[in-house]
Amino acid sequence: MNRKRKLPRKFSYVAYVAGSIDGRIAESSLSKIDWTSKEDSNFFQNSLKKFDAVVVGYNTYKAVETQLKKRNTIVFTSKINDINKTELPSSVTFFNPRTSDFKKFIKSQNYKKIAILGGPKVYNFFLEHKMLDELFVTIEPYVFTAGIPMFSSNKFQKYKFSLIIVKRLNKKGTILLKYKNGNQSNQN
C-alpha cells in the first residue's frame, strides 16, 4: 500500500495596508480609518474571511475594534497589565511580543493563516522576524504630507518584495498592489 505522507501545514502571514500616495496610513495614532474607499473596504473585509486570526497594534485595535468583534484578534501591546480584560470579547488576546514567543503562541492556538493589520511597529515586527509572506497595499489618491508612516523602525534595513498584482479598484484612482516577500521562503 502506497500511503502519502501528510506534510505539516505551513503558516501564512499576510499584511494589509491602506495608505496615501505619500505612504501615510493615518493622521495620528488615534485617527479612525474613515478615508479609505468603499472598494478597499469590501476587498479587505472579504479577504479577512480566509484567516484564522488577525494581529493589530493597540492603537489600530482601538480604531477598528467594532469591525474585529467576530474575529480571533491578537493585539500587540506592552501594556497588558493596564487593560481591563473583563470588558473584552473572548476572541481578543492581548500579547506582548517583547516578553513572549509569538510563533509558540500561534502554534498553541492552532492558527495557520494570520492577517497583519498594523500599525507600523506591528508590520516591522513581522518583517524583522521573517514572518511576512505577502503584502497587500491599497493606495488611496490622497497626499497627507504628515502622519503615521506604513513602516517605522529605528534602524535601516532593506527588504525585497516582488510585485505580483496591480489592480485599479475604482475610477477615483484607488489602486491595489499585491507583493510577495522576495527575501525568504516561509520557514515556520
pLDDT digits (tens, 9 = 90+) for 161-172: 999 999 999 999
* Distance between CA atoms of residues 8 and 154, nearest Å: 36
CATH no. for residue 120? 3.40.430.10
* Distance between CA atoms of residues 148 and 173, nearest Å: 21
From residue 98, give the alpha-carbon distance in Å to each of 21, 29, 183: 32, 20, 24
In this prediction, residue 88 carries a pLDDT of: 62
Whether residue 7 lies inside any domain: the answer is no
Whether residue 123 lies inside any domain: the answer is yes
Q: Among all chains, which residue has been given the C-alpha cell 513572549?
A: 100
Closest CA to 188 of 27, 12, 3, 46: 12
Q: What mean pLDDT do residues 20-27 have?
A: 90
Whether residue 186 lies inside any domain: the answer is no
Whether residue 78 lies inside any domain: the answer is yes
In this prediction, residue 33 carries a pLDDT of: 72
Whether residue 188 lies inside any domain: the answer is no
Coil/strand/helix, residue 104: helix
Q: What domain range is 39 assigned to?
A: 12-181
Whether residue 86 lies inside any domain: the answer is yes
93's torsion region: left (phi>0), alpha (psi -120 to 50) or beta?
A: beta
pLDDT tens-place string over residues 75-117: 999 887 655 555 566 789 999 999 899 999 999 999 999 999 9
pLDDT band at residue 186, thresholds of 50, 70 and 90?
Answer: very low
Whether residue 6 lies inside any domain: the answer is no
Whether residue 4 lies inside any domain: the answer is no
Helix H or strand E segment including 53: strand 53-57
pLDDT tens-place string over residues 126-179: 999 999 999 999 999 999 899 999 988 777 788 899 999 999 999 999 999 999
Q: What mean pLDDT do residues 25-53 have?
A: 87
How far the first Cα of the chain sits from its last, in Å, is: 31
Residue 75 makes CB contacts below 8 A (sequence gap 6+) with 55, 56, 57, 58, 61, 92, 93, 94, 95
Number of domains in the chain: 1
